[in-house]
């Protein structure tokens, strides 16, 4: 029987559910607050419009010096490859347009079943790096 490991798994999930949702990537069972937040029409999926709104929110939250672009410091969690990929025109700054384009490339990648909607399982992969 698997009862012992099942119980262990459940307690682990409970722990994850209560320990700061901000820094606990992984199989969280209750709806992650970010997901509920992103899912504006509450249909259990994040469509392109909803995703775009979140991307713009994140851009604004990252743009600490309010100059309308993201510099290396404002994207500190991006490794160089990721930063270079986002900075299409290579001016060492990521504009709003570049950021949106870059995040929508993520959307395409994460939307495994290609229904233009990220469901919760797809979202679990996404929330890890969508800041
Ligand atoms: Ca939705
Ligand atoms: Ca900035
Ligand atoms: Ca740029």
pLDDT of 46 reads: 94
In a shared domain, residues 82 and 20: no
Ligand 2 centroid, distance to 20 Cα (angstroms): 27
Report pLDDT digits (tens) over 69-95.
999 999 999 999 999 999 999 999 999
Mean pLDDT of 112-128: 84
Question: What CATH number is attached to the domain comprising 39?
Answer: 1.10.238.10
Bridge partner residues of 95 (DSSP): 69
Q: Which two tokens stand for residue 119?
A: 């469901």
In a shared domain, residues 61 and 75: yes
- For 23, the domain range is 1-27
Ligand 1 centroid, distance to 107 Cα (angstroms): 14
Into how many domains does the chain fold? 2
In a shared domain, residues 41 and 89: yes
In a shared domain, residues 20 and 73: no
Ligand 2 centroid, distance to 80 Cα (angstroms): 17
- From the CA of 75, the nearest ligand is 2
In a shared domain, residues 21 and 67: no
Rounded to 5 degrees, what are φ and ψ at 15?
Answer: -60, -45
CB 92 within 8 A of CB 71: yes
Ligand 2 centroid, distance to 81 Cα (angstroms): 19
Higher model confidence: residue 122 or residue 129? 122
In a shared domain, residues 72 and 104: yes
CB 92 within 8 A of CB 72: yes
């Amino acid at each position: 029987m698997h009862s012992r490991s099942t119980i262990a798994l459940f307690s682990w999930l409970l722990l994850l559910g209560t320990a700061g949702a901000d820094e606990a990537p992984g199989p969280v069972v209750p709806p992650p607050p970010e997901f509920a937040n992103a899912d504006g029409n509450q249909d259990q999926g994040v469509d392109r419009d909803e995703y775009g709104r979140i991307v713009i929110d994140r851009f604004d939250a990252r743009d600490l010096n309010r100059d309308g672009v993201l510099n290396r410091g404002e994207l500190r969690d991006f490794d160089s490859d990721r930063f270079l990929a986002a900075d299409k025109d290579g001016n060492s700054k990521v504009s709003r347009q570049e950021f949106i384009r870059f995040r929508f490339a993520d959307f395409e990648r994460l939307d495994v079943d290609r229904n233009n909607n990220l469901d919760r399982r797809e979202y679990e992969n996404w929330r890890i790096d969508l800041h």
